[in-house]
């Protein structure tokens, strides 16, 4: 698959396992053709009469790169491909495609949990990889709005729930671009304005949150939690479905907020970015805490993704370019994301080496090395390598991994949401009388947890705990002899 004339150092780096630092669960059930085509592309609508979603860059890429993983010839007809999918069954298809991607860890955005989607643990089990959770802020807010009784309850419970969820996660994510756009006021809203907005919100909590004041409050509450736990915050920017106003999804519009976070040392990850990937590269080049990733752009532009990666590398610092597939519903998205990331990087680096602007011996800070090491280091995962699928090396097909390899115990679909709501109700009752959120605060004298992001040097060092007071001196007994009391 990779060009034969690549330098050995570059080839080895491209064949290293990847960390998919932003993805979603894939469907656990067998899909009809209509269901499958709805998951090709971001329109989420059927193709016009007489056409098919297979006639898109993504549809062609599925037939080219995913068909061989299912033991088919490249470019088979859509009916043949879907028939083979039905024959193997969803479980086997998911295992083959997830393991073929060469991913060693899946960081799963659980904001789209549904019974028909694999959980984070199941993604790891099917892919023979580690797996962990990315917490979607807006989903946490929705759970709180469903259970809070009054505005103060809402504020306190939101902070407490974010702290609880962040304790078992490796990152936070916001889709504020979908809700009010990235041109929001970067300042922290006042407590009075938040209480007034929360009262309006609780009058109809089932409505989707679009209030800019509450969205900013949610974001700044997450900032407090992220700073305390040294977690990154991911932001959807650029390309998305029809619910997105693209003109308000340019990451350059949130420059004020990015600037406000710089003294706090909180990593900001710009996801997807297209067609604003050059603006994202600029932000990553001028702000030390900003990272960039073109994510689902790779799969949806398919053969054109190499040009987008090349444009991103015009300016982005090599160590700040991350990898993700943003696969959702179809395991094909994960495999194609890895394929086009490796092919695009191979083309971009090969052209630089050929022109003399790049060294044939890849330095440790090169984009290929960081694509493997940065996400792993940032999330605390072991960098141990596993064999990259033979399709990338040109070898014979590798045997399928045992279904239980490197597995975590799967979660029962829907159970986590029920447990979460029970915990939220309990927390709301206990904090009803409180005045002020404790989100992100540490107990006096406790140290900050170890950072999970490579920019750790920019995080202020924790203060040394205050010396403890000396223990009180033991009380001395009186020297006078004890006199027995006479009987009454």
The answer to whether residue 456 is domain-embedded is: no
Residues 68 and 99 in one domain: no
The answer to whether residue 457 is domain-embedded is: no
Residues 119 and 257 in one domain: yes
Give the domain-ending residue among 403, 421, 439. Answer: 439
Question: Angle at the Cα of 29 (from 24 to 34), degrees rounded to 5?
Answer: 90
Region 188-212 average pLDDT: 95
Give the structural domain span for 82: 31-88
Q: For residue 173, what pLDDT is reported? A: 98
Element (H, E) at 378: helix 367-379
Q: Decide if 119 contacts 413 (C-beta within 8 A).
A: yes
Residues 189 and 209 in one domain: yes
Q: pLDDT tens-digit profile of 244-270?
A: 999 999 999 999 999 999 999 999 999
404 has a pLDDT exceeding 50: no
Q: Does the CA dihedral 56-19-175-276 come out positive or negative?
A: negative
Residues 256 and 297 in one domain: yes
- Token representation of residue 282: 């600029």
Q: Distance between CA 205 and CA 150 in Å, rounded?
A: 11
Q: pLDDT tens-digit profile of 317-367?
A: 989 999 999 999 999 999 999 999 999 999 888 888 877 776 555 443 334
Task: Calculate the alpha carbon distances from 100 to 52, 157, 306, 389, 460 in Å.
Answer: 26, 42, 20, 5, 41
The answer to whether residue 36 is domain-embedded is: yes
- What's the chain's average pLDDT? 81
Residues 19 and 53 in one domain: no
124 has a pLDDT exceeding 70: yes
Q: Decide if 141 contacts 174 (C-beta within 8 A).
A: no
The answer to whether residue 480 is domain-embedded is: no
Q: For residue 44, what pLDDT is reported? A: 85
The candidate with the shortest Cα–Cα distance to 3, out of 269, 342, 291, is: 342
Domain count of the fold of the chain: 2
Residues 61 and 125 in one domain: no
413 has a pLDDT exceeding 60: no
The answer to whether residue 471 is domain-embedded is: no
Region 109-121 average pLDDT: 91
The answer to whether residue 260 is domain-embedded is: yes
Q: Among 305-319, 362-376, 437-451, which range has the highest average pLDDT?
A: 305-319
Question: What is the secondary structure of 148-168 as a DSSP string?
Answer: --SHHHHHHHHHHHHHHHHTT
The answer to whether residue 478 is domain-embedded is: no
Q: For residue 369, what pLDDT is reported? A: 33
Residues 161 and 47 in one domain: no
Residues 264 and 136 in one domain: yes
Give the domain-ending residue among 88, 107, 132. Answer: 88
Q: For residue 200, what pLDDT is reported? A: 95
Contacts of residues 365-368 at CB distance under 8 Å and 24 or more positions apart, as own/partner, are 365/318, 365/319, 366/10, 366/13, 366/318, 367/313, 367/318, 367/319, 367/321, 368/10, 368/13, 368/14, 368/16
Q: Does the CA dihedral 297-300-301-305 come out positive or negative?
A: positive
Q: For residue 41, what pLDDT is reported? A: 85
Ranges 150-154, 271-275, 461-465: which has the least confidence: 461-465
- Token representation of residue 470: 């000396």
Residues 70 and 144 in one domain: no
**Coil vs helix vs strand at 301:** helix
Q: Is 263 or 12 the better-scoring residue by pLDDT?
A: 263
The candidate with the shortest Cα–Cα distance to 25, out of 446, 483, 413, 420, is: 413
Give the domain-ending residue among 88, 106, 125. Answer: 88
Q: For residue 275, what pLDDT is reported? A: 96
CATH number of the domain residue 95 falls in: 3.20.20.140
Residues 112 and 227 in one domain: yes
| Cβ contacts of 152 within 8 Å, gap of 6 or more | 195, 432, 434, 435
Q: pLDDT tens-digit profile of 280-303?
A: 999 999 999 999 999 999 999 999
Q: For residue 239, what pLDDT is reported? A: 94
Q: For residue 13, what pLDDT is reported? A: 82
396 has a pLDDT exceeding 80: no
The candidate with the shortest Cα–Cα distance to 455, out of 262, 169, 279, 254, is: 262
Q: Decide if 128 contacts 406 (C-beta within 8 A).
A: yes
The candidate with the shortest Cα–Cα distance to 342, out of 7, 5, 13, is: 13
Q: Decide if 251 contacts 238 (C-beta within 8 A).
A: yes
Q: For residue 391, what pLDDT is reported? A: 52
Residues 193 and 68 in one domain: no
The answer to whether residue 477 is domain-embedded is: no
Residues 162 and 244 in one domain: yes
Q: Distance between CA 173 and CA 23 in Å, rounded?
A: 11
Q: Does the CA dihedral 65-66-70-76 come out positive or negative?
A: negative
Q: For residue 230, what pLDDT is reported? A: 95
Task: Calculate the alpha carbon distances from 334 to 123, 338, 370, 420 in Å.
Answer: 11, 6, 19, 28
């Amino acid at each position: 698959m990779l060009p034969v004339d690549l330098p050995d150092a570059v080839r080895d780096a491209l064949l290293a396992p990847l960390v998919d630092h932003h993805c979603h669960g894939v469907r656990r059930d067998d899909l009809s053709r209509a269901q499958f085509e709805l998951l090709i592309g971001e329109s989420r609508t059927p193709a016009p009469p007489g056409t098919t979603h297979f006639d898109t860059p993504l549809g062609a890429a599925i037939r080219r790169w995913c068909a061989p993983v299912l033991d088919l010839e490249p470019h088979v007809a859509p009916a043949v491909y879907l028939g083979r999918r039905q024959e193997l069954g969803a479980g086997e298809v998911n295992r083959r495609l997830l393991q073929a991607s060469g991913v060693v860890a899946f960081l799963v955005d659980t904001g789209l949990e549904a019974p028909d989607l694999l959980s984070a643990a199941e993604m790891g089990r099917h892919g023979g990889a580690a797996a962990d959770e990315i917490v979607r802020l807006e989903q946490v807010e929705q759970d709180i709005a469903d259970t809070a009784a009054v505005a103060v309850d809402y504020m306190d419970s939101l902070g407490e729930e974010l702290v609880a969820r962040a304790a078992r996660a490796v990152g936070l994510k916001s889709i504020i671009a979908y809700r009010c756009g990235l041109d929001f006021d970067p300042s922290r809203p006042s407590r009075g304005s938040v209480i007034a907005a929360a009262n309006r919100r609780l009058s109809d909590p089932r409505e989707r949150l679009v209030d800019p004041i509450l969205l900013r409050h949610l974001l700044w509450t997450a900032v407090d939690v992220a700073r305390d736990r040294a977690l990154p915050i991911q932001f959807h920017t650029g390309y998305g479905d029809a619910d997105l106003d693209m003109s308000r999804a340019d990451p350059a519009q949130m420059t004020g907020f990015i600037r406000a976070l710089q003294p706090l040392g909180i990593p900001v990850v710009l996801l997807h970015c297209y067609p604003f990937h050059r603006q994202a590269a600029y932000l990553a080049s001028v702000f030390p805490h900003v990272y960039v990733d073109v994510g689902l752009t790779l799969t949806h532009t398919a053969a054109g993704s190499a040009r987008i990666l090349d444009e991103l590398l015009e300016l982005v610092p090599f160590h700040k370019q991350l990898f993700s597939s943003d696969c959702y519903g179809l395991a094909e998205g994960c495999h194609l994301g890895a394929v086009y990331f490796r092919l695009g990087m191979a083309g971009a680096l090969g052209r630089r080496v050929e022109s003399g602007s790049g060294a044939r011996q890849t330095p440790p800070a090169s984009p290929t090395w960081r694509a493997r090491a940065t996400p792993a280091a940032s999330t605390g995962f072991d960098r141990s390598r596993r064999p990259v699928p033979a399709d990338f090396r040109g070898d014979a097909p590798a045997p399928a991994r045992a279904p239980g390899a490197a597995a975590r115990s799967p979660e029962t679909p829907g159970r986590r949401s029920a447990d979460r709501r029970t915990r939220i109700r309990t927390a709301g009752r206990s904090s009803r009388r409180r005045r002020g959120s404790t989100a992100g605060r540490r107990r006096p004298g406790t140290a900050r947890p170890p950072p999970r992001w490579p920019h750790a040097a920019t995080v202020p060092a924790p203060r040394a705990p205050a010396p403890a007071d000396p223990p009180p001196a033991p009380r001395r007994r009186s020297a006078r002899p004890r006199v027995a009391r006479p009987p009454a």
